[in-house]
Amino acid sequence: MISALDVPLDLSQPPTITQQSPKDYIVDPRENIVIQCEAKGKPPPSFSWTRNGTHFDIDKDAQVTMKPNSGTLVINIMNGGKAEAYEGVYQCTARNERGAAISNNIVIRPSRSPLWTKEKLEPHQVREGDSLVLHCRPPVGLPPPIIFWMDNAFQRLHQSERVSQGLNGDLYFSNVQPEDTREDYICYARFNHTQTIQQKQPISVKVFSMDSLNDTIAANLSDTDIYAKPVTEKQPTLLTPTGSTSTKVELRGNVLLLECIAAGLPTPGIHWIKEGGELPANRTFFENFKKTLKIIDVSEADSGNYKCIARNILGSVHHVISVTVKAAPYWITAPRNLVLSPGEDGTLICRANGNPKPNISWLANGVPIAIAPEDPSRKVDGDTIIFSHVQERSSAVYQCNASNEYGYLLANAFVNVLAEPPRILTPANKLYQVIADSPALLDCAYFGSPKPEIEWFKGVKGSILRGNEYVFHDNGTLEIPVAQKDSTGTYTCVARNELGKIQNEVQLEVKDPTMIIKQPEYKVIQRYGQVSFECIIKHDSTLLPTVIWLKDNDELPDDERFLVGKDNLTIMNVTDKDDGTYTCIVNTTLDSVSASAVLTVVARPNPPFDLELTGQLERSVELSWIPGDENNSPITNFVIEYEDGLHEPGVWHYQTEVPGTQTTVQLKLSPYVNYSFRVIAVNEIGRSQPSEPSEQYLTKSANPDENPSNVQGIGSEPDNLVITWEPLKGFQSNGPGLQYKVSWRQKDVDDEWTSVIVANVSKYIVSGTPTFVPYEIKVQALNDLGYAPEPSEVIGHSGEDLPMVAPGNVQVHVINSTLAKVHWDPVPLKTVRGHLQGYKVYYWKVQSLSRRSRRHVEKKILTFRGNKTFGMLPGLEPYSSYKLNVRVVNGKGEGPASPDKVFKTPEGVPSSPSFLKITNPTLDSLTLEWGSPTHPNGVLTSYVLKFQPINNTHELGPLVEIRIPANESSLILKNLNYSTRYKFYFNAQTSVGSGSQITEEAVTIMDEAMASRQVDIATQGWFIGLMCAVALLILILLIVCFIRRNKGGKYPVKEKEDAHADPEIQPMKEDDGTFGEYSDAEDHKPLKKGSRTPSDRTVKKEDSDDSLVDYGEGVNGQFNEDGSFIGQYSGKKEKEPAEGNESSEAPSPVNAMNSFV
C-alpha cells in the first residue's frame, strides 16, 4: 500500500482536482466571470458542471465557454451578459475511466456598491461637554464597505481618545468641545471590489459654550434649561454597547473584535480584563485608543466573559461581553490517496472536528456511497472506509464531506489499483552540495506497487547504511543530520519490491562554511563625518560569494556618498538620514551569513522651541520650553540667556542653566528691565542654535538694590583725591534717572561728610587735599524712586609725592668673588609721602683690579619689594671694584640716592687660556704657543702643562707635568719620541686655584733617513717589476677563488679577513693625510673616528700620505696561501670590507716595502 505518494503521470490514475475557485466567490459585475476547475489524471479527465444542483449545459449558453483541456468556465459579461443572471452554486466534476473527482460548491455572487439613500440631515446643536454620536449607516454592499470620515478638503478627521470611529462606522464624541464646531463631517464608504467610494451628505455640528452663549441664541432655542448650568464634569457612561451585558459569537481561527466607547468629562480611559483568566499573550492587541480589544486566531479556549471598564476621576462604568467561540469543520485527518497492488488491503480515514461536531458523509465518484455501485472489497465504518483484497476494478475516487451549521469540508481521495515494478524518479548522478555541520538531504523519489523497500549504500560497493547518524524518510530521502567533510562521496539508493529492483547513484560534496571573520562594529559619528564598516569573509575556495549591504533591512540609498568596497562600506559626509542598522550579507549558492552594526549619527541638539512665560511677578517669572531633537546625544543642560531691550537691545547675557531633564525654570528678575529670554540646548557634541526669543516682559521700577562696586580713592597729583567706581549696568538701575551720591571725609579727623550727586560718570576729583592722607569714601546709587541701601565705606589716599630722604647707613658685606650682601636703614614713613613700594639698589663695576683699563659703565638695578632692609647682589665679577647706592620707591617714583658705596670682590680662578697652538713638529720636539685667559679673575701666578703619549691602541702613557711662569706665552718641548702622538692639557692659575683647562694633540715626525730609504726603494725599477708580478699573481688567484666560490667552494681569504676584522678602527683621511683628531674631554681617551687635525699640526708634506708608519710601529705583512695580502697592524688599521673583495685604499709601494723590512 502506498499512501500520499504521487503516481507518475504515465501510469493510469483517477482524476485529482488541482485548482478550483473559492467557495464564496464574489465577482466584479463589470468583468467576465472565470470559475476555475483544473484536474489531472490518466487518461486525461473530462469535465462537467452542475448549477444549483442540476446539470449545467454550457453548450446551450452562448455566453459560457470552457477552456480547452480544462474544466475552467468563462462567462462573457463584457459582451452583453449580466452577472446577476449567473448567480448560483456551481460544482465541477472531473471524470475518467478510473473514477470521478468533484470540486467544492462554488457560490457565485456579483459585488454590489449601492448609492446612499437621500436624506435630510438636521444640524446637531450640542452643549459643550456633552456626548455626541454621528451616524454613518452606509448602504449594504457586497462585500461590506470600509468606512472613514473626512472633511470637504478630503482630509481625514483627527481622532483621539475623545473622538473616534466605532466598528459600525459611526463617529463617537465622548464629550464635545468648541473646536468640534464645523459643517463638513462627511462619512465615506469605500467598496474595494468595484473600486468605488460613496459619500454621505455633510453633517453640521454646532457646539455651544456657556461662556459665549448670548441672549439671542438662548431665546431661539427650544430647550434653554440645558444652558442654565455651566459646563460640569460627568461620570462615564457607555455609548456602545448599551446595557451591562451582551453576547458575541465568533468562529475559530477568525479575529475577535470587542468594542467599548464611553462618554464622560474628563474623557474616560478604557481598560479590558478577562474574568477568571488572562488575555492571551502574543495574540492580544488594543486598537482605537484601547476602545477595541482585538484577539487574533481565536480558539475555543478564548470563550468567556470579557469586561471593559471606563473610568475617569468621577467614577467608572463597566460592561461584560460573553464570548462564545464556535467552529466550522476543520480537519483532524483528511483522506489521502491510496495506491494498492491487487490483493492488498488499505483504509481511507476522514476525521474532522468543529463546534458543533460535524457530520461525516462519503461519496464514491461523486455519488453518495449508499447509492453508488457496490464494491465487495470496501466496507464503510463511520469516518473510515476499509478495503480488503482489492482488484483493478476497485479503483475509484471517494469524497468525504464534513459539515455543520457553520460550513463544510470536502476532500477527494482516490484508490488506484496498480501492479508496477520499482522506479526511481530522482535523476541519476544528481549532485548535492551542502555546508559542513549542516544537514544533507539526498533524494530518492520512487514509485512502485506494491510499495518498494528503500536501502542506501555509500559508494558503489559499500555496506548498507544504518545507525543513528542517518535518518531514513518514508519518501526515500536519506538525511545526514550533521554532514562532515568526510561525508563527501557517492551514495547509492536501491528500491525493490516483488516485481523488481532498481538503483540510482547521487553525489554529495561537503563545503567549508562561509564565515565573517571581521564583523562590522557599532559606530558613533558626528554629522558630516566619514565612517567605514568592515566585513571581511572566509569561504570555501570552490564557492563564489557575493556581498550585499543593507540599511535597515532594505537596499542602500542610491547615493554616491555610499562607497562599497571589496570588504568594507564607507559613508562619506554622513547625515542624519544615515542613522540606522547596516547589515553585511554574504551569499553563496549553499549558505548565507550576515552581521549587523548600528550607526548612530550624533550632532548638536536642535534649538528648543515654544518658549512660554507664566507666573509673571515683579521679581520673578517662570519660563518653559519644548526641547528640540537631541540628535542621538542626550541633552546635558539648557543655558538660559536674556536680552534687556530697554538698556542693551541686541545684547544677550547669561542668566542661568538647568539640567537637560528640566524644561521649566523660575527666573529671578530685576526691576525696570524689558526682558526677552532664549534657551540654548547643550550635549556632548556642542551647543544648539539659540531658540527664538520669548515674548517681552517689562518689570516695574524700584529703588536701586545695589551700589557701585570697586570704589577707590587714589590721588593723581599731590593735592587731589580721584574717586572712581564701577557704574551700575542698565538693568541694575531698577528705574529711570540713575545718579550717584559721592561722599568723602579725611580719616581720623573729626570732619563732616562732603557729598556731591553726579550722573553718567564713574569718576570724581576732589582738589586741594593734603599730600598722601587717608580719606573715608562711599558712593551711593539713586534713581527717580529713591536711594539704594547705605553703602559701605572704603579707605583711599590723596596723591603721592616723591620721597624726601635717602636710606642711610648703607653697608656692603662681600661673601665671595661673585656675591655680596648690602644692608641699609629704612627711611621714616612720613618722608616716603606715598605707599612704600620698596627699595632699589643701583650697582656698577668701576674697573677690574687685574687690568687697569676702564670700560663703559653699565649700571644694574635690583628692586626689593616692601620694607626690606637688605638684599643679595649676585653675578659679580671676581677681582673687581664696584660702587652702589640705595633709593626708596613709592607710587610716585624714586627718592634721592644714598652716597655711593665702594666695595671690591676678591680673586677667583681664571678662565681657560684663550688658545693653545702647537707648531714646528720635529723628530723629538714640539713648539707650544698660548694666549692668556680672557678673564684672569685675579693675578696669574703660573701656567700648568700636562702631557702624555698615545700609542697605536689609543692607550695613554705616563703623564708629565710642567709649571710655567705666568709671563711666558710659548714653550719648546724637547726630548720627545719621534713619530709619536701626544695629548696636552693646559690651564692657568691664580692664588685661589687652577682654572679650566684646554686640550690639544700633536705628533712628532718620523726618522728622515728611514723616509728617504723608503722613497729610494720605491723608485727602483726592480722593485716596480716585483710589485707588478705580485699584482698579476694576486689577480690570477682572485679569479680562481671567484670561480671556486661560484661552484660552492669556501673562500679562505674571507675567513681570515673576518677573523681580523676590527669595526672600531677607521681609516686615516685620504684627502689631506691628516691624523684623526682626539676629544679634549678629560677622560684622556682619543677620539676613534670622525675627527680631524688642524693643518698646523701635520707631519712633513713630502712624507707619503699612505704611510702606515705614522700610526706607530710599522706594518707586519704577509701573503697567505692563495695570494691575498693580509695586513696585520700592531696599531690602528682600516676596517675590512664586508665581502673581502674590495679595498678602501690601494697599498702604496712604500707600504709594500715596509711589509718586507
pLDDT at 651 over 70: yes
| φ, ψ for residue 646, nearest 5 deg | -90, -40
List Cα–Cα distances, 537 to 562, 589, 596, 668, 857, in angstroms.
20, 15, 14, 63, 84
What local confidence, expressed as pLDDT, does residue 392 receive?
86
Span 226-235, average pLDDT: 69
The whole-angstrom separation of Cα 385 and Cα 350 is: 9
Q: Quick check: 1070 pLDDT over 70?
A: no
Count CA within 13 A, CB hemisphere, residue 829. Answer: 6
Do residues 56 and 79 make contact, with C-beta atoms less than 8 angstroms apart? no
State if pTM tops 0.85: no
CA 438 to chain centre: 36
- The SS3 call for residue 1015 is helix
Q: Which of 112-121, 739-748, 1019-1028 has the lowest mean pLDDT?
A: 1019-1028
Helix (H) or strand (E) holding 515: strand 515-518
Q: Residue 1121 pLDDT > 80, yes or no? A: no
Task: List, for residues 51-60, the tens digit of each pLDDT value.
Answer: 999 999 999 9
Instruction: Give the distance from CA 512 to its chain's centroid.
Output: 33
Would you say 303 and 295 are in contact if contact means Cβ atoms under 8 Å apart?
Answer: no
CA torsion 749→753→758→760, rounded to 10°? 60
Give all strands (DSSP E) within 890-996, no chain letters.
901-904, 913-919, 926-933, 942-950, 960-965, 970-973, 981-989
3-state SS record for 493-505: EEEEECCEEEEEE
- Looking up cell 723628530, which residue turns up? 923
Cα separation, 713 vs 766, in Å, equals 10
Q: What is the DSSP letter of 156?
A: B
User: Cα 795 from chain centroid?
Assistant: 61
Q: Which of 462, 518, 517 is nearest to 493 (CA)?
A: 462
Report the percentage of the chain scoring pLDDT > 90. 73
Three-state secondary-structure class, residue 629: coil
Dist CA 490 CA 1157 (whole Å): 91
CB atoms within 10 A of CB 1: 16
Encode 966-983: b = buried (16+ Cβ within 10 Å), e = exposed. Answer: beeeeeebeebebbbbbb
CB count in 10 Å sphere of residue 736 = 11
At residue 1057, the pLDDT reads: 39
Does residue 551 carry a pLDDT above 70? yes
| Cα 677 to chain centroid, rounded | 35
Other residues' Cβ atoms within 10 Å of the Cβ of residue 722: 17
The mean-pLDDT minimum among 536-545, 1046-1055, 1083-1092 falls in 1083-1092
| Span 692-729, pLDDT tens digits | 999 999 999 999 999 999 999 999 999 999 999 999 98
Of residues 587 and 1043, more confidence is placed in: 587
Under the banding of pLDDT at 50, 70 and 90, the label for residue 220 is: low
- Return the number of other C-beta atoms located less than 10 Å from residue 873's C-beta: 21
Q: In the prediction, which pLDDT does 1018 show?
A: 52
Peptide bond into 266 cis (omega under 30): yes
Can you give the pLDDT at residue 269?
A: 95
The number of angstroms, rounded, from the C-alpha of 673 to the middle of its chain's C-alpha atoms is 46
pLDDT digits (tens, 9 = 90+) for 245-290: 999 999 999 999 999 999 999 999 999 999 999 999 999 999 999 9
Give dist(CA 1040, CA 1123) in Å, integer. Answer: 11
Mean pLDDT for 574-586 is: 95
| Alpha carbon distance 679, 692 (integer Å) | 8
* More confident of the two residues 435 and 1042: 435
Let me know: does 58 contact 47? Beta carbons within 8 Å.
no
Rama region for 1039: left / alpha / beta (φ>0; ψ in -120 to 50; rest): alpha
Alpha carbon 505 to chain centroid distance?
A: 54
Amino acid in the structure at residue 555: E
Q: What is the DSSP string of 217-233?
A: HHHH-S-GGGGSS----
- For 820, the grid coordinates are 655680596
For residues 159-177, average pLDDT: 95
- Report the half-sphere exposure of 714 (CA within 13 A, side-chain side): 9
| 205 has pLDDT over 80 | yes
Among 101-110, 614-623, 1119-1128, where is mean pLDDT lowest?
1119-1128
Q: Helix, strand, coil: what percent of the chain each, to 5? A: 10, 45, 45
Phi, psi of 555, deg, nearest 5: -60, 155
Residue range 342-363: mean pLDDT, rounded:
95
The answer to whether the beta carbons of residues 1080 and 1093 sit under 8 Å apart is no
The average confidence (pLDDT) of the chain is 86
The alpha carbon of residue 602 and the mean position of all alpha carbons in its chain are separated, in whole angstroms, by 8
pLDDT, mean of residues 217-221: 49
- Tell me how long the chain is: 1157
Terminal-to-terminal C-alpha distance of the chain:
121
Tell me, what's the pLDDT at 229?
A: 54
State residue 1156's pLDDT score: 31
Q: Measured between alpha carbons, how far is 362 from 375 in angstroms, rounded to an integer? A: 14
